[in-house]
Amino acid sequence: MSSPEEQAYCLLTEYAHGFMVSQVLFAACELGVFDLLAEAPEPLGAVAVAARLGTSSHGMELLLDTCVSLKLLQAETRRGKALYQNTELSSTYLVRASPKYQGNMLRYLARTTYLCWGHLAQAVRDGRNQYPEAFGVPSDELFTAIYRSEGERLQFMRALEDVWSISGRHVLAAFDLSPFPLICDVGGDFFKDPLPEADLYILARVLHDWTDTRCSHLLARVHRACKPGGGILVIESLLDADGRGPLTTQLYSLNMVVQTEGRERTPAQYHALLAPAGFQDIQCRRTGGIYDAILARR
């Protein structure tokens, strides 16, 4: 297949099957494939993996072979039998013992985000999140829905930590933070609770959850609490100036429609929130990773 029309059909097929690829990754993690292969002293066959993980052999063989095509596993054939082991990708990101393990994030995507996105068309119609439809929980109080059980709250927190283990050092290295001796990582019920006095307030993946109005309210509170000479570090995934990229940030912005009240924003949109709240010297730095940094002074 090589005509432009056939190439377009291949691309369409790739998009249409994207959810299947996600689920292969999610299922292999959930079933413990990568952990088992990391602990095994030598490569294992599909029947052994299935027996150790308590799954069907047929389903496991298909899953493992699909992971090979996705470069999540590698296979070698010895005496006619396929033996599987982890790749660099899975050793680094999919084995629980790795410092860069992403399994909690993947589990959150599989169990919560995947279900919410089943209602994307309706979320675009309504322009609001689909928690009532996906989980039967009201969404007026956003984090009451997101933290709808202690297990769900922990899962969400661990997911955020997974991402931080990759992106944290990039965003914190974007600016020289040495002028700010006392740093407050803003969390908790920050619309109501008093904010502690600090030189720098970090709002990491906070503003993207909220409407412009609520963001302005929060930024005004931070400005009031901030020491003279202090500042604010906003960590978010930045949209391009025209809003038409990067793709990952656009998907996150749609995710905000599906799961929150907010959106991802362009540098100009963050400027338009920060300046009226009293902040100045607003600087945006792209890290080259998914999350970027914006520093502003009181």
Span 105-144, contacts to a copy of itself by CB under 8 A = 105-106, 109, 114-115, 117-118, 120-121, 123-128
What does residue 187 show for φ and ψ, rounded to 5 degrees? -145, -165
Interaction between residue 241 and a copy of itself (CB under 8 A): no
Residue (102 or 139) nearer to a copy of itself, CB: 102
> Per CB under 8 A, which of residues 73..112 are in contact with a copy of itself?
75, 77, 82, 88-89, 92-94, 102, 105-106, 109
Interaction between residue 62 and a copy of itself (CB under 8 A): yes
CB of 137 to a copy of itself, least distance (A): 18
C-alpha distance from residue 43 to each of 20, 29, 93, 95, 225 (Å): 26, 17, 19, 15, 57
* 208 labelled catalytic: yes
Collapsing DSSP to helix, strand or coil, 291 comes out as coil
Among residues 208, 217, 223, 271, the one annotated as catalytic is 208
- With a CB cutoff of 8 Å and minimum separation 6, the contacts of 148 are 135, 137
Looking at residue 239, the DSSP 8-state letter turns out to be P
Residue (278 or 289) nearer to a copy of itself, CB: 289
Interaction between residue 263 and a copy of itself (CB under 8 A): yes
DSSP string, 150-185: HHHHHHHHHHHHHHHHHHHHHHHTSS--TT-SSEEE
Overall size of the chain counted in residues: 298
Distance CA 58, CA 56 (A): 6
> Per CB under 8 A, which of residues 11..40 are in contact with a copy of itself?
11-13, 15-27, 30-31
CB of 42 to a copy of itself, least distance (A): 20
Distance CA 217, CA 235 (A): 18
CB of 273 to a copy of itself, least distance (A): 16
In the chain, DSSP assigns E strands to 73-78, 81-86, 183-185, 200-204, 231-236, 280-285, 292-297
Residue (70 or 183) nearer to a copy of itself, CB: 70
Interaction between residue 5 and a copy of itself (CB under 8 A): yes
Residue (46 or 296) nearer to a copy of itself, CB: 46
Residue with tokens 């297949």: 1
> Per CB under 8 A, which of residues 37..56 are in contact with a copy of itself?
54-56
CB of 65 to a copy of itself, least distance (A): 5
Q: Between β-strands 231-236 and 200-204, what pairing exists: parallel, antiparallel or unpaired?
A: parallel
Interaction between residue 288 and a copy of itself (CB under 8 A): yes
- With a CB cutoff of 8 Å and minimum separation 6, the contacts of 6 are none
Binder of a copy of itself out of 35, 44, 45, 63 (CB under 8 A): 63
Degrees, nearest 5: CA angle 44-47-48: 45
Interaction between residue 247 and a copy of itself (CB under 8 A): yes
CB of 133 to a copy of itself, least distance (A): 13
Residue (88 or 150) nearer to a copy of itself, CB: 88
> Per CB under 8 A, which of residues 136..195 are in contact with a copy of itself?
166
Q: Mind telling me the catalytic residues?
A: 208
